[in-house]
Structure 1
Amino acid sequence: MPLYSVHHSTTYRYRQPVRLGQHQLLFRPRDSFDQRLLACRLAVRPEPSEIRWIHDVFGNCITLVDFAAPTDVLEFETTIRLEHTPENAPDFRIEPYAREHPFAYDETELPDLAPYMLRHHSGDVAVDDWLSKFIAPSASRPTGQLLMTLNEAIAEGFSYRRRTSHGTQTPAETLDLQQGTCRDFALLMMEAARSLGFAARFITGYVYVPGRDGPARLGGGSTHAWCSIYVPGSGWVEFDPTNGIVGNRDLIRVGVARTPAQAIPLSGSYWGEADDELGMEVAVNVKTETGPAPEETGTAAPDRAAVSSTGR
């Protein structure tokens, strides 16, 4: 069972001291049967006036940070450690009624799945045109095979390009450019799956890059994004169309949401001039460790505020 350690730092610099609004972080992984949080730590500079945690509408752990003093440097540094149980191959144990697509979800699950079946870009016909090139509208196909085909079509047919600008491309933009980021590919697969009648969720987290131990992974060195599709009998099955991964292998799940805009790793505001912001620096390092995980102490540099917690 791999033990992952993730170090993530984000630094904002300003031309002159600015007044900071509340900042919101989504960095604490979701505990589950396949990943167990051992410890997490947050260090903030300058010292916040208050740090508190809430659970959002999706059950994600959100950290809210408030500040009192102006500053020209804002830094967040997070460290998480967790045990991870990888799924080496997809295991589609599908209910008999859903083994062939198309099918209808069970009426007892439909009210809860319905919001995740609604297309985010309902008027976008580009997705339907793209699907028609390799999926016959009236044909019946094995459900698992259909979803894997969709995942592979994005992984093999589009070029990954890291983008520094905020936001997520629309599926039509991704199809037109034939390139995008992991967030763009996740949204494209979600919209394609929803157009076929599936419920789909957006996932944000991290991807482990094995290096010499295995094939290269795209999206490493930053936060990563993928999606999950609800399959009766298998539950929420994860698909990473950026890397063609089915299941959770090399993926560290932090937050889930209905749309990409609801799963931003770090967001906030400041009061100042438009040109006061000089830029942002982000560094992410994901590595594996061996042996038992020591407890986090919560120590930090003297000019930072630090908090830590452990999951048991």
Structure 2
Amino acid sequence: MTTYAVHHRTIYRYRQPVKLGQHQLLFRPRDSYDQRLLDCRLVIRPEPAEIRWIHDVSGNCLTLVDFDTVSDRLEFDTTIELDHTPENTPDFRIEDYAREHPFAYADSELPDLEPYMRRHHPDDVAVEEWLAKFVAADGRRPTGQLLMTLNEAIAEGFSYQRRTMRGTQTPAETLELQQGTCRDFALLMMEAARALGFAARFITGYVYVADRDGPARLGGGSTHAWCSIYVPGSGWVEFDPTNGIVGNRDLIRVGVARTPQQAIPLWGSYWGEPEDDLGMEVSVNVKTERAPPADQPAATSSTRR
């Protein structure tokens, strides 16, 4: 078991004082068998008029913040601590009927899975053309092997490019550019899986990067995104195509959603002129109390974020 502490700070700056509107945060992880929330703290400057929490349509915990003031600066400072149980290797205990692809989900599960099987960009033929490299039109292939191949193909075949612009590239854009952010790669993996008949969900959270975060607090980090795919017998299996991770190792899951647009870590509004927005600064640091065995040196990570 590993204990993680995540510090996430976002600062908005404005050219002149603006009236702050409602803001929404998605930062509180949901407790599960593989991660248990120990502490959760939120500091907001200037002080809000009201803070309340709700569960969204996917069961994620949303924090809604209302203001009754004007300011030229807005800061959100969040800290979470949790116990995390990593999976060393994916445990593909797949039901007999689903061990080879293609297969059909069980009738009892299909109504709940159908929304996650619908593609975001059904008219993009680029995804099918890319899939043809890995999937024969008339062939069968072990399900777990197929999904791991797609995950690794994105990790090895595309260049990670951090982008400050909001939004997510279409899969066709990612395939054409051969580069993208973690959100772009997650959506491409989801679209590829859905094109093959799988149910897939978008995940937002954090990734621990040993050679970036280490024991000291460092800046320059960001939130992370990956996806999960429903495999009968194994449930929702996590795939991080940015880093080639299968399972939850080094991944801190905060929220899950049907689309990337439903899993934005922080968004809000203000009353003012468009040019009043001077941009934002984001700093994320993930620390861990996990220690290597005494007879082994500490390992470094080449994880991309």
TM over 0.5, shorter chain: yes
| Residues in 1 aligned to 2:168 and 2:47: alpha-carbon distance in whole angstroms | 32
Structure 2 residues not aligned, in runs of 5+? 215-219, 292-305
Q: Which amino acid aligns with 2:24?
A: Q
For residue 221 of structure 1, what is the aligned residue in structure 2? 221
Q: Which amino acid aligns with 1:190?
A: M
Is structure 2 residue 168 aligned with structure 1 residue 140?
Answer: no
For 1:79-228, list aligned pairs within 5 A: 79-211=79-211, 221-228=221-228
Is structure 2 residue 26 aligned with structure 1 residue 26?
Answer: yes
Asked if the contact 2:205/2:254 (under 8 Å) is kept, the reply is yes
1:221, CA displacement in angstroms? 1.1
Distance 1:290 1:148, change over 3 A: closer
Structure 1 residues not aligned, in runs of 5+? 215-219, 292-312
Q: Which amino acid aligns with 1:46?
A: P
Q: Which amino acid aligns with 2:50?
A: E
SS of structure 1 residue aligned to 2:108: coil
Q: Which amino acid aligns with 1:86?
A: P
Q: Which amino acid aligns with 2:251?
A: L
Q: May I ask how many residue pairs the two structures share in their alignment? A: 286
For residue 295 of structure 2, what is the aligned residue in structure 1? none
1:290, CA displacement in angstroms? 6.0
For residue 298 of structure 1, what is the aligned residue in structure 2? none
Q: Which amino acid aligns with 2:25?
A: L
| Residues in 2 aligned to 1:269 and 1:221: alpha-carbon distance in whole angstroms | 24
Asked if the contact 2:86/2:250 (under 8 Å) is kept, the reply is yes
For residue 276 of structure 2, what is the aligned residue in structure 1? 276
| Residues in 1 aligned to 2:97 and 2:143: alpha-carbon distance in whole angstroms | 10
Q: Which amino acid aligns with 1:77?
A: D
Q: Which amino acid aligns with 2:141?
A: R
| Residues in 1 aligned to 2:30 and 2:188: alpha-carbon distance in whole angstroms | 24
What's the C-alpha RMSD, in Å, of the aligned pairs? 1.4
Distance 1:16 1:286, change over 3 A: same
| Residues in 1 aligned to 2:124 and 2:78: alpha-carbon distance in whole angstroms | 38
1:212, CA displacement in angstroms? 8.8
So what's the TM-score if we normalise by structure 2? 0.92
For residue 240 of structure 1, what is the aligned residue in structure 2? 240
1:184-241, CA deviations, whole angstroms, 9 ceiling, x for partnerless residues? 0000000000000000000000000022999xxxxx8100000000000000000000
Which runs of structure 1 show a deviation greater than 3 angstroms over 4 or more consecutive aligned residues? none
1:135, CA displacement in angstroms? 1.5
Q: Which amino acid aligns with 2:181?
A: T
Q: Which amino acid aligns with 1:174?
A: T
| Residues in 1 aligned to 2:263 and 2:138: alpha-carbon distance in whole angstroms | 35
Identical positions, percent: 81
Q: Which amino acid aligns with 2:175?
A: L
Asked if the contact 2:213/2:285 (under 8 Å) is kept, the reply is no
Moved more, 93-102 or 205-214: 205-214
| Residues in 2 aligned to 1:11 and 1:243: alpha-carbon distance in whole angstroms | 28
| Residues in 1 aligned to 2:194 and 2:112: alpha-carbon distance in whole angstroms | 15
SS of structure 2 residue aligned to 1:22: strand
Asked if the contact 2:213/2:287 (under 8 Å) is kept, the reply is no
For residue 299 of structure 2, what is the aligned residue in structure 1? none
Q: Which amino acid aligns with 2:222?
A: S
1:81-118, CA deviations, whole angstroms, 9 ceiling, x for partnerless residues? 00000001011000000001000000000000000000
1:119, CA displacement in angstroms? 0.2
| Residues in 2 aligned to 1:212 and 1:275: alpha-carbon distance in whole angstroms | 34
SS of structure 2 residue aligned to 1:173: helix
| Residues in 2 aligned to 1:131 and 1:224: alpha-carbon distance in whole angstroms | 25
For residue 48 of structure 1, what is the aligned residue in structure 2? 48
For residue 6 of structure 1, what is the aligned residue in structure 2? 6
